[in-house]
Amino acid sequence: MQANAVAVIQEYKEKSRKRFLLIIIGLCICAVSFISDILIGPSWLTLSETITAIFQREIVPVTTKVIVWTLRMPAALMALGVGASLGIAGASIQTILDNPLASPYTLGISAGAGFGAALAVVFGGFLSEIIGTSLVPIYAFTFSILTCMLIYFMGRFRNLAPETMLLCGLGLSFLFQSLQSLLQYISSPEALQSIVFWLFGSLAKADWFTVAIIYVVLLVIVPLILADAWKLTALKLGDEKASSLGVNVEKLRIKIFILISLLTSFAVCFVGVIGFIGLAGPHVARILVGEDQRFFIPLSAVFGAAILSLASVISKLVSHGAMLPIGIVTGLIGVPFYFSLIFRSQKRYLK
């Protein structure tokens, strides 16, 4: 018994170290994937060319510089940033709604964005001549924020009860999908094509400006979520227990929901609907480190980033010369990997 008592603290510290190491490993996977994402494409670069182009951009030929800095790097960074955003958003939504099936996708936030994008394509008209190509992201962003607000205000009727918010989100998801189908039905063939392509999700339109927005949003929001890591962990014990431990449950839920709404809306408005990351990133993280949010949230981000970045690499490998839409690849490649983890895991993580 004595030996046990001494070992208890050691064990906890050892576990924390291992979890930290997992985050580092995840980051290494992201780095490798990021480099591969840059060197793979219609014209392949060598590893040394890529690295030189990244770190000593003055000494490489102009074409290499353009390929790396103008074409591929923004898309590669976008994959990591959006993946991380969706991973964190999924993890936090699952925690505040206490449901492992919740994600930006199942809550209808993506469907809202999809409807907004379709609206911009079909009825953009003269507005698109003034604002140009950014009309679609602006509409997508507006409608995904609108969806979040609807979920929030409907939830308020029942004291922000998790199940109410989840069910409202599901309802809104169907509503916006129907509206979007309606738009597709009445739109011209050209408009239909651009709506469908937007819905597939694509990193191809990423540029330095949109990348900067995604990373600034991440830099502002992630520390705000992590500051409440312990409170979110306590919330996993249930509202009543968290409340009796001193957590202001309602305030925490509102704050995190607002932060997630922003994170998700910025992520989906630039790249389109990518459904799987917000569900899979957190699940992989949960299987590996449990639900101590100090590790769970960062690892969800890291895995979200890694999955989307690897999907981007694979999308370029399977279709030579062109890029298969990223939304298609994440599902096709991710789901088998996801199933294998679910069946191998000994832990029970669905209620």
Partner 1 sequence: MIEISKLSFGYKGYMSNKILNEINMTAYPGEITAIIGANGIGKSTILKNICGLLKGSGDIKICGKNINDYSRKELASHISYLSQDTFSSALLSVFEVVLLGRVARLANNVSDDELVLVRDVLCRLNLEKYASRNIGELSGGQRQLVFIAQALLKNPKVLIMDEPTSNLDLYYQFQIMNLLKELTVTEQFTTLVSLHQLDLVARFTDKVIVLNDGCVYDYGMPEKILTAKTFRDVYRMNTEIVNKCGAAYVIPISQYKDL
Please, what is the minimum distance in Å from the beta carbon of residue 66 to partner 1? Answer: 43
Residue 114 to residue 116: CA distance in whole angstroms: 5
Interface residue with partner 1, options 125, 132, 246, 336 (CB under 8 A): 246
Measured distance CA(343)–CA(347) in Å, rounded? 10
Q: Which long-range contacts (CB under 8 A, 24 or more apart) does 206-211 make?
A: 206/74, 206/75, 206/77, 206/78, 206/270, 206/271, 207/74, 208/74, 210/74, 210/78, 210/137, 210/270, 211/74, 211/77, 211/78, 211/81
Tell me the window of 48-56, 169-177, 240-248, 334-342 that interacts with partner 1 (CB under 8 A). 240-248
294 binds partner 1 (CB under 8 A): yes
Nearer to partner 1, 9 or 59 (CB): 9
Nearer to partner 1, 50 or 95 (CB): 95
Pick between residue 212 and residue 245 the one whose CB is nearest to partner 1: 245
267 in Cβ contact with 214 (< 8 Å): yes
- Is there binding between residue 348 and partner 1 (CB under 8 A)? yes
Q: Of 203 and 234, which CB lies nearer to partner 1 in the complex structure?
A: 234
Q: Closest distance between partner 1 and the C-beta of residue 291, in Å? A: 4
Among 43, 70, 181, 244, binds partner 1 (CB under 8 A): 244
Binding to partner 1 by residue 292, rule CB under 8 A?
yes
Measured between alpha carbons, how far is 232 from 274 in angstroms, rounded to an integer?
A: 26
Which of 52-60, 83-91, 103-111, 291-299 is the region at the interface with partner 1 (rule: CB under 8 A)?
291-299
**CA–CA distance from 51 to each of 20, 54, 56, 60, 347 (Å)?**
27, 5, 8, 10, 41
Spatial separation of the C-alpha atoms in residues 221 and 85, rounded to whole Å: 10
Question: Is position 174 an interface residue for partner 1 (rule: CB under 8 A)?
Answer: no
Determine the angle formed by the axes of helices 162-186 and 189-200, rounding to 10 degrees.
150
Is 49 a binding residue for partner 1 by CB under 8 A? The answer is no
Q: Choose between 49 and 239: whose C-beta lies nearer to partner 1.
A: 239
238 binds partner 1 (CB under 8 A): yes
Q: Which of 3-11, 124-132, 265-273, 274-282 is the region at the interface with partner 1 (rule: CB under 8 A)?
A: 3-11
Q: Is residue 163 at the binding interface for partner 1, with CB under 8 A as the rule?
A: no
Is residue 279 near partner 1 by the rule CB under 8 A? no
d(CA 35, CA 192): 35
Report how far residue 110's alpha carbon sits from residue 144's, in angstroms, rounded to the nearest whole number. Answer: 7
By beta-carbon proximity to partner 1, the closer residue of 161 and 328 is: 161
- 243 is a contact residue toward partner 1 (CB under 8 A): yes
Of 12 and 123, the one with the shorter C-beta distance to partner 1 is 12
Residues 59-98 that bind partner 1 (CB under 8 A): none
Element (H, E) at 319: none
Binding to partner 1 by residue 349, rule CB under 8 A? yes
Verify binding: residue 8, partner 1, rule CB under 8 A: yes
Asked if 214 and 338 touch (Cβ cutoff 8 Å), the reply is no
List the alpha helices (DSSP H) in the chain: 2-39, 47-55, 62-65, 73-96, 109-123, 125-131, 135-156, 162-186, 189-200, 208-226, 229-235, 239-244, 249-271, 277-289, 293-318, 326-344
- Of 24 and 62, CB closest to partner 1: 24
Closest approach of Cβ 93 to partner 1, in Å?
Answer: 16
Site string for partner 1, 25-44 (x = CB under 8 A): --------------------
Which residues sit at the interface with partner 1, rule CB under 8 A?
1, 4-5, 8-9, 11-13, 15, 226, 229-231, 233-234, 236-238, 240-248, 286, 290-292, 294, 347-349, 351
